[in-house]
């Protein structure tokens, strides 16, 4: 009796075998454990009815197989209710060598010329059809459906065919090894192409070429007798702990190509059941090959099932030399009857190893050729379950705990849990589940099963809520009576568990490269690493690495699968989440990069191979009625010619110690200090700037009231905002000339010119009456706040939902100043918007270590100078500038999700003044212009987490100014100073939660009106 609750299942105490305890008396912890049981469904399995083949071209039923890969073969109405099928394919005495293929042009059967050859395949079914083709036209073929399967990916024992086979070995290209020989090679079968790491079994097609007759030994005990030449065998393998299988020849050498066709679902930890009717179970007791001579009247008999509830066995069968009147087939029913179908036995070549679906009667099966005699070899691989056997007999299921041992003492204060594990033997029926409990709580959880070679093992991650002595009980239940335990075992152990302030890291974490000078692997990319020798890694484990070449951010990932390529052990990785590895930790750090930090500043404008890639923007003319004309791209960039060349450090440089100057002052401008004045907008004074909680889920801010500037105040004498104790900064300089040439915009970088050279170049541009000269500078420094607080609320079992991210914070604090002087002469109004990339800054990687596990954080910055405006002017603005501290980022918690962090900060700015251009006799201004830095901040925690944040702060001057015509020439001006702030941001939180892969943090564009000034002055 089950009841679904939020994706889990509530199971009555009776149904899990605790019949001695009434449900009402269950403890709160036990009820919680019961609610965490994962309800799983039975797989679908149906044997195809005894019918004529769906295609048999030799007798005119259907056409021969052709070479069109789009061919489909209809398996009938029963197939339409299933997603996978076991299908026997027979090529009948082809006139030339023929190869049968399935999806992805994967070869699955090779038939030499004149030889009847068959094989059994697992193929995906779509709309009742399968995909089969050949390497040439008119291949005579017979196709028989044997069984149909389906189920969910958590249905224990369900057989699932891949949509397209996945290649996992090819020795001709050194994938899996360089060649087959008497020395084992290894290739992976799980983890890639959708096959989970915990698969019960894997269907693999091995394509082998050997020079002489030989035997291929697989690591799970299978023996495949192969004839000289090429053979393709599909079988079902049991992967080892690293998700693969070894392959060895008895005597010679050869080549191997292996493709995975599908897999069988395993019962994972916490599943309500391990097996159902239709589940496939491995044979652990009758795996040894059985060989013997057989005739139609003297079949070969064998034990084909480990227990009585198996209806159909899956075996590997082959035939060798014998006395045959003609090509025949193998039959599993006796006495022989019905049509001649089954595994093909060629009159000369007999038959290569292939799968067969065999009916089982009282655990036994028998096989014989329909004509003649043959020596047969049969190896039982597993079977499909039918109804349970009610009679128990003398062979009831048994269970043994192998670890920990009785009276052991375990310290799990830093690992959080231990594994209780053991072996189980099935009785007359397959195992329904292995249940772990304790007298201290009652039911804890159902264990994970693993059909491992000649035994069935089980394991469960468990713990206790406090230090002390505890008894753990393991019980095995079979399918005949899920309420009655068939056997039990127990251990008494002493536990030292984690306290609330202990750091706890999963024992499934494997750490590498803690010493950068001695890397233990090479990083191919952030998803792939390569070891020289076989690593101690298993699929599903968490690989954590300090920074290494190719993965400068370090690595934090789950092992997906392993391959051997060109002699290296290549490990493919997939995303992991922080609470997979860190069960309990408390990191709260501010990373402040100091004078001695290895900060690298790259002057992009001086070092770029193609400087044109550093400029982007548009320019458009504006007509007298205000209509904006067509935009023209700003993509013409050149470096001015002067007495010296532009060198690295001209436009951007690292400043340290006393060279750091983040305070806006008169010395940042070519201006008389007596004419220099600054004011300040105080934080939170006018509502013009949002704070984090006012930003919506799209990263946007929508103020509900009209915003006006607050009265300005005098600036404090010290730097604004918090003291970062910074001893470094990135200094930016850009002397830029913007003009029109034949109506097209052009940007000239003149930063490297001597002052007199720049003045001359600027004058030449202004003489065109369609130009702006900009002398811009800036300086930026930053720090990073990183917080990771994880707490576990685990008592008896490891439930991931009980490991909470209390806080995960990534906040940048940047302090910057921007300064510029402008000289503009636009006789006709124009609108411009462009940015020039100036610098890239690589900050050193910061590494925190939690119980030997590194958390690596890398940060990179990019800076640009941005110019926006719409103006008609003949004016010089000697000082435009600002200074401020911005703090922005995010905080994430399991309880509240994402919260944006952004402050409303004080802003220091220069009050405006206007001057005439050179010998000009007037000043005019209509519109405005803003200049300032844009910074892009990219943070990587390992290589998978964001954020990517961008901030721009442009100091702008906008207004009107006009000069009277008659002397004394007087200028009347009204000018507004404003700050254009843009904050953008995306965060990729695959380290935390899958539904937060790409979250927009910020999409804010705010104009802060700072100051308005009206005045008159005489030229």
Mean of the pLDDT values across residues 387-410? 89
How high is the pLDDT of residue 441? 95
pLDDT above 90 for 991? no
pLDDT at 687: 83
Q: Are 727 and 657 in contact (CB under 8 A)?
A: yes
496 burial level (CB within 10 Å; 0-12, 13-18, 19+): middle
- Residues 473 and 487: beta-carbon distance below 8 Å: no
**Cα 380 to Cα 303: distance, rounded to the nearest angstrom:** 8
Give the separation between CA 298 and CA 241, rounded to whole angstroms.
41
pLDDT band at residue 993, thresholds of 50, 70 and 90? very low
Please tell me whether residue 33 adopts helix, strand or coil conformation: helix
Q: What is the pLDDT of residue 990?
A: 57
What are the residues whose beta carbons fall under 8 Å from the beta carbon of 538, sequence distance 6 or more?
197, 241, 242, 243, 559
Show the tokens assigned to 578.
Answer: 């922080």
919: phi then psi, degrees, rounded to nearest 5: -90, 10
For the residues 205-223, what does the mean pLDDT come to? 96
Q: Which stretch of DSSP H or E encloses residue 658?
A: none
Element containing residue 331 per DSSP (H, E): strand 328-331
Closest among 944, 734, 942, 948 to 860, alpha carbons compared: 948
Q: What mean pLDDT is predicted for residues 230-249?
A: 96
Stretch among 17-21, 458-462, 980-984 having the lowest mean pLDDT: 17-21
Query: Which of these, 933, 937, 945, lies nearest to 993 by C-alpha position?
Result: 945
Read off the pLDDT of residues 150-184 as tens digits, 9 standing for 90 and up: 999 999 999 999 999 999 999 999 999 999 999 99
- Closest by alpha carbon to 730, among 665, 818, 652? 652
Strand partners, 449: 458
- Cα 187 to Cα 170, 239, 534, 994, distances in angstroms: 9, 10, 12, 30
Q: 656-680 in b/e burial notation, b at 16+ Cβ within 10 A?
A: beeebebbbebebbebeeeebebbb
The DSSP call for residue 35 is H
Question: What is the SS3 string spanning 450-466?
Answer: EEECCEEEEEEEECCCC
Side-chain half-sphere exposure of 432, counting CA atoms within 13 A: 24
Per-residue pLDDT for 354 more than 80? yes
* 1004 HSE (CA, 13 A, CB side): 32
Residues pairing with 584 in the sheet: 504
Prior bond to 120 cis, omega within 30? no
* pLDDT for res 788: 87
Q: Which residues pair with 530 in a beta bridge?
A: 522, 570
What are the DSSP calls for 776-837, one per residue? EEEEEEEEEEEEEEEEE--SSB--GGGEEEEEEEEEEEEEEEEEEEEEEEEEEEEEEEEEEE
β-pairing verdict for 509-512 and 542-545: parallel
The pLDDT of residue 359: 94
Of 470, 398, 385, give the one whose Cα is nearest residue 430: 385
pLDDT at 945: 56
Q: What pLDDT does residue 393 have?
A: 64
302 contacts 366 by C-beta, under 8 angstroms: yes
Residue 511 confidence (pLDDT): 93
**Cα 274 to Cα 259, 506, 654, distances in angstroms:** 28, 26, 63
The overall average pLDDT reported for the chain is 88
* Distance between CA atoms of residues 30 and 37, nearest Å: 11
Residues 262, 221 contacting (CB under 8 angstroms): no
b/e 918-932 (16+ beta carbons within 10 angstroms → b): eebebbbbbbbbbbb
Buried b (16+ CB within 10 A) or exposed e, 455-486: ebbbbbbbbbeeeeebebbbbbbbbbebeebb
Q: For the chain, what is the radius of gyration of the CA atoms?
A: 38
Find the mean pLDDT for residues 857-885: 91
Q: Is the confidence at residue 37, as pLDDT, over 70?
A: yes
Q: What is the DSSP letter of 239?
A: -
> What is the token pair recorded at 292?
């013997």
CA atoms of 455 and 240, how far apart (whole Å): 13
Residues 6+ apart with CB under 8 A from 597: 728, 843, 844
The band of 946, judged by pLDDT with boundaries at 50, 70 and 90, is: low
Q: Is residue 184 a contact partner of residue 234, using CB atoms and an 8 Å limit? A: no
Grouping H, G, I as helix, E, B as strand and the rest as coil, residue 971 is: strand
Show the tokens assigned to 160.
Answer: 């699932």
What gap in Å lies between CA 939 and CA 553, rounded to an integer?
Answer: 9
For the stretch 614-657, pLDDT in tens is 999 999 999 988 899 999 999 889 999 999 999 999 999 998 88
In angstroms, the CA 378 to CA 299 distance is 12
Of 774, 782, 721, residue with least CA distance to 954: 774
If you ran DSSP here, which 8-state letter would residue 31 be given?
Answer: H
Residue 772, Cβ neighbours under 10 Å: how many?
24
Residue 348 and residue 344: Cα distance in Å, rounded? 11
3-state helix, strand, coil in the chain (%, to 5): 5, 55, 40
Tokens 């207004």 found at: 959
d(CA 159, CA 151): 7
Q: State the Cα–Cα distance between residues 706 and 521, nearest whole angstrom.
A: 59
In this prediction, residue 18 has a pLDDT band, given cuts at 50, 70 and 90, of very low
Question: What distance in Å separates the CA atoms of residue 430 and residue 494, rounded to the nearest whole number?
Answer: 33
Across the range 515-529, mean pLDDT stands at 89
Element containing residue 607 per DSSP (H, E): helix 604-607
Q: Using one digit for the tens of pLDDT, what is the confidence trace for 736-759?
A: 999 998 889 999 999 999 999 999
pTM assigned to the model: 0.80
Confidence of residue 26 (pLDDT cuts 50, 70, 90): low
Q: Give the bridge partners for 926, in sequence order.
A: 872, 960
Q: How many whole angstroms separate alpha carbon 855 and alpha carbon 859? A: 13
Higher pLDDT, 938 or 630: 630
- Give me the mean pLDDT over the 835-845 stretch: 89
Amino acid 17: pLDDT: 42
Mean pLDDT of all residues in 895-901: 86
- Percent with pLDDT over 70 in the chain: 92
Q: Which residue has the higher pLDDT, 211 or 849?
A: 211
> Residue 576 — very low, low, confident or very high, per pLDDT cuts 50/70/90?
confident
pLDDT, tens digit, 9 for 90 and up, residues 464-513: 999 999 999 999 999 998 899 999 999 999 999 999 889 999 999 999 98
Count other Cβ atoms within 10 Å, centred on residue 73. Answer: 20
Alpha-carbon gap, residue 160 to 150, rounded angstroms: 6
Residue 171 backbone phi and psi in degrees, to 5: -65, -20
- The answer to whether the CB of 214 falls within 8 A of the CB of 181 is no
Q: What is the pLDDT of residue 429?
A: 92
Instruction: In whole angstroms, give the CA distance from residue 563 to residue 577.
Output: 24
User: Phi/psi at 612 (nearest 5 deg)?
Assistant: -60, -20
Binned at pLDDT 50, 70 and 90, residue 712 comes out as low
Lookup result for tokens 């830029």: 736
> pLDDT tens digits for 426-445?
889 999 999 999 999 999 99
């Amino acid at each position: 009796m089950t009841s679904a609750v939020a994706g889990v299942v509530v199971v009555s105490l009776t149904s899990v075998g605790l019949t001695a305890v009434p449900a009402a008396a269950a403890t709160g912890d036990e009820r919680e454990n019961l609610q965490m049981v994962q309800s799983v469904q039975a797989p679908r399995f149906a044997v195809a009815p005894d019918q004529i083949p769906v295609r048999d071209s030799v007798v005119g039923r259907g056409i021969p197989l052709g070479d069109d890969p789009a061919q489909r073969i209809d398996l009938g109405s029963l197939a339409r209710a299933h997603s996978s099928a076991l299908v026997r394919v027979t090529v009948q005495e082809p006139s030339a060598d023929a190869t049968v293929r399935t999806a992805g042009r994967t070869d699955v059967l090779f038939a030499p010329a004149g030889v009847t050859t068959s094989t059994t395949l697992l193929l995906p079914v779509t709309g009742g059809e399968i995909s089969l083709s050949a390497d040439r036209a008119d291949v005579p073929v017979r196709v028989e459906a044997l069984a149909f399967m389906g189920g969910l990916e958590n249905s224990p024992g369900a057989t699932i065919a891949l949509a397209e086979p996945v290649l996992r070995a090819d020795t001709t290209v050194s994938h899996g090894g360089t060649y087959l020989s008497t020395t084992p090679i290894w290739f992976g079968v799980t983890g890639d192409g959708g096959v989970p790491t915990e698969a019960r079994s894997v269907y693999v097609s091995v394509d082998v070429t050997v020079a002489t007759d030989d035997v291929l030994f697989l690591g799970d005990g299978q023996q495949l007798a192969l004839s000289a030449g090429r053979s393709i065998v599909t079988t079902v393998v049991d992967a080892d702990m690293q998700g693969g299988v070894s392959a060895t020849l008895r005597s010679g050498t050869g080549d191997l190509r292996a493709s995975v066709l599908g897999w069988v679902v395993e019962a994972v930890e916490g599943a309500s059941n391990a097996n159902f009717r239709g589940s496939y179970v491995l044979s652990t007791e009758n795996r040894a090959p059985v060989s013997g001579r057989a005739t139609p009247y003297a079949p070969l008999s064998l034990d084909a099932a480990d227990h009585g509830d198996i209806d159909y066995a899956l075996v590997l069968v082959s035939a060798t030399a014998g006395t045959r009147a003609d090509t025949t087939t193998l039959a599993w029913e006796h006495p022989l009857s019905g049509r001649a179908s089954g595994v093909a036995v060629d009159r000369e070549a007999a038959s290569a190893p292939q799968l067969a679906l065999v009916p089982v009667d009282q655990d036994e099966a028998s096989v014989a050729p329909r004509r003649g005699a043959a020596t047969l070899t049969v190896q039982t691989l597993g079977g499909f379950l039918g109804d349970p056997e009610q009679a128990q007999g003398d062979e009831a299921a048994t269970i043994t705990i192998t670890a920990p041992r009785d009276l052991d003492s375990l310290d799990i204060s830093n690992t959080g849990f231990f594994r209780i594990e053991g072996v189980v033997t099935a009785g007359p029926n397959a195992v329904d589940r292995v249940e772990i409990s304790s007298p201290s709580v009652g039911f804890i959880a159902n264990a994970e099963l693993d059909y491992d070679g000649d035994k069935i093992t089980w394991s469960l991650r468990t713990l206790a809520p406090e230090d002390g002595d505890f008894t753990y009980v393991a019980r095995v239940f079979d399918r005949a009576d899920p309420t009655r335990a068939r056997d039990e075992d127990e251990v008494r152990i002493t536990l030292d568990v984690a306290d609330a302030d202990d750091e706890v890291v999963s024992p499934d974490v494997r750490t590498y490269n803690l010493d950068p000078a001695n890397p233990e692997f090479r990083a191919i990319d952030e998803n792939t690493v390569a070891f020289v020798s076989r690593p101690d890694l298993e699929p599903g484990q968490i690989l954590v690495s300090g920074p290494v070449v190719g993965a400068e951010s370090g690595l934090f990932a789950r092992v997906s699968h392993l391959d051997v390529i060109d002699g290296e052990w290549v490990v493919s990785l997939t995303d992991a989440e922080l609470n997979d590895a860190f069960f309990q930790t408390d990191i709260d750090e501010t990373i402040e990069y100091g004078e001695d930090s290895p900060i690298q500043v790259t002057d992009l404008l001086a070092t770029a191979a193609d400087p044109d890639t550093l400029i982007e923007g548009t320019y458009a003319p504006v007509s007298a009625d205000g209509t904006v004309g067509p935009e023209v791209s700003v993509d013409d960039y050149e470096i001015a010619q002067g007495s010296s060349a532009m060198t690295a450090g001209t436009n951007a440089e690292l400043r340290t110690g006393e060279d750091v100057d983040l305070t806006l002052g008169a010395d940042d401008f070519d201006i008389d200090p007596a004419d220099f004045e600054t004011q300040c907008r105080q934080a939170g004074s006018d509502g013009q700037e949002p704070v984090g909680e006012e930003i919506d889920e799209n990263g946007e801010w929508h103020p509900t009231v009209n915003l006006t500037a607050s009265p300005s105040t005098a600036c404090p004498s010290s730097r604004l905002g918090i003291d970062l104790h910074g001893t470094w900064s990135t200094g930016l300089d850009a002397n830029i000339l913007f003009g029109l040439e034949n109506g097209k915009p052009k940007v000239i970088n003149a930063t490297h010119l001597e002052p007199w050279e720049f003045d001359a170049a600027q004058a030449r541009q202004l003489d065109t009456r369609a130009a702006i000269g900009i002398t811009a500078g800036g300086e930026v420094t930053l720090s990073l706040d990183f917080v990771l607080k994880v707490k576990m609320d685990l008592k008896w079992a490891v439930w991931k939902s009980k490991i909470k991210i209390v806080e995960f914070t990534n906040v940048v604090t940047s302090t910057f100043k921007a300064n510029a002087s402008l000289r503009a002469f636009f006789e006709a109004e124009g609108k411009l918007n462009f940015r020039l990339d100036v610098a890239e800054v690589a900050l050193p990687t910061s590494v925190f270590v939690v119980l030997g596990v590194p958390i690596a954080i890398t940060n990179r910055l990019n800076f640009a100078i941005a110019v926006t405006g719409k103006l008609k002017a003949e004016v010089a603005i000697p000082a435009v500038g600002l200074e401020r501290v911005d703090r922005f980022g995010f905080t994430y918690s399991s309880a509240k999700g994402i919260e944006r962090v952004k402050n409303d900060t004080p802003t220091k700015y220069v009050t405006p003044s206007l001057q005439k251009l050179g010998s000009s006799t007037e000043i005019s201004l209509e519109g405005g212009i803003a200049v300032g830095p844009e910074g892009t901040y990219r943070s990587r925690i390992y290589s998978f987490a964001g954020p990517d944040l961008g901030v721009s702060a442009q100091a702008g001057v906008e207004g009107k100014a006009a000069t009277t015509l008659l002397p004394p020439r007087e200028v009347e001006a009204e000018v507004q100073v404003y700050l254009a702030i843009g904050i953008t941001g995306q965060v990729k939180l695959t380290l935390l939660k899958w539904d937060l892969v790409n979250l927009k943090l910020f999409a804010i564009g705010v104009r802060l009106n700072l100051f308005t000034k009206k005045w008159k002055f005489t030229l």
